[in-house]
Amino acid sequence: MSADSRPTVVVLDYGSGNVHSAVKALEAAGASVELTGDHTRAFEADGLVVPGVGAFSAVMQQLVNSRSAEVIDRRLAGGRKVLGICVGMQILFEHGVERGVDTEGLGEWPGAVTELDSPVLPHMGWNTIDAPTDSVLFRGLHDERFYFVHSFAAQHWTLDVMPPFPQPQVTWSEHGARFVAAVENGPLSATQFHPEKSGEAGIRLLSNWTESLSTD
């Protein structure tokens, strides 16, 4: 693939930690990548990646303060693809509850992000996933492991989509209890794990996503 034909991807820079590993992984996956908080470039790119590390409330505050939540909403309203990673996935739900603090999320999906019911937290390390057989993200990756670092997750999926709209593809994993490991819902996809820290399997997953950008 020539440089000119590579899909353009913006990794949204809104102050949430070190995101350079995500940039490198997306480049390895075949994208032309820019790390920026510029809203025009974030809207116009073929794909937008929303990373996130730390507490749900802190990430939401950074998104609101930088007005980055607006560009995510504008992209999705126009059917333009967005990929959330880790807390960048969690904030897509209605709200997150951490240490007694209930914070409003972006509300793209119903439900809450809550602490995992496990004697060992955080959930840190490699784990298997249970993905739908026709998943685009996990094409060729159903037997692979991915790298997780988190103590909170969405543990229920309640979005009910009526025809003619397709049902979302929900992937699960388990640490003490089942939790949502990934979602594919029209232009919006997200992973609770870190594909950029998941070795070759993570690169292949990002390749599956970047290849889907050319189908818009």
Average pLDDT over residues 175-179: 96
Catalytically active residues, by annotation? 86, 194, 196
**pLDDT greater than 80 at residue 170:** yes
So what's the pLDDT on residue 4?
65
Q: At what angle do helices 56-65 and 68-77 cross, to 10 degrees?
A: 80
**pLDDT greater than 60 at residue 29:** yes
**One-letter amino acid identity for 114?**
T
| Mean of per-residue pLDDT scores for the chain | 94
Full-model pTM: 0.95
Q: What is the pLDDT of residues 62-119, one digit of tens each?
A: 999 999 999 999 999 999 999 999 999 999 999 999 988 999 999 999 999 999 999 9
* Segment (H or E) for 61: helix 56-65
Q: Show the domains of the chain with their CATH numbers.
A: 3-213 (3.40.50.880)
Q: Per DSSP, what are the bridge partners of residue 188?
A: 82, 185
So what's the pLDDT on residue 1?
47
- CA 156 to chain CA mean position, Å: 17
Average pLDDT over residues 132-155: 98
Band of residue 216 on the pLDDT scale cut at 50, 70, 90: low
Q: What share of the chain in percent tops pLDDT 70?
A: 96
For residues 118 and 48, give the distance between their C-alpha atoms in angstroms, rounded to a whole number.
33
Question: Which 8-state DSSP code applies to residue 5?
Answer: G
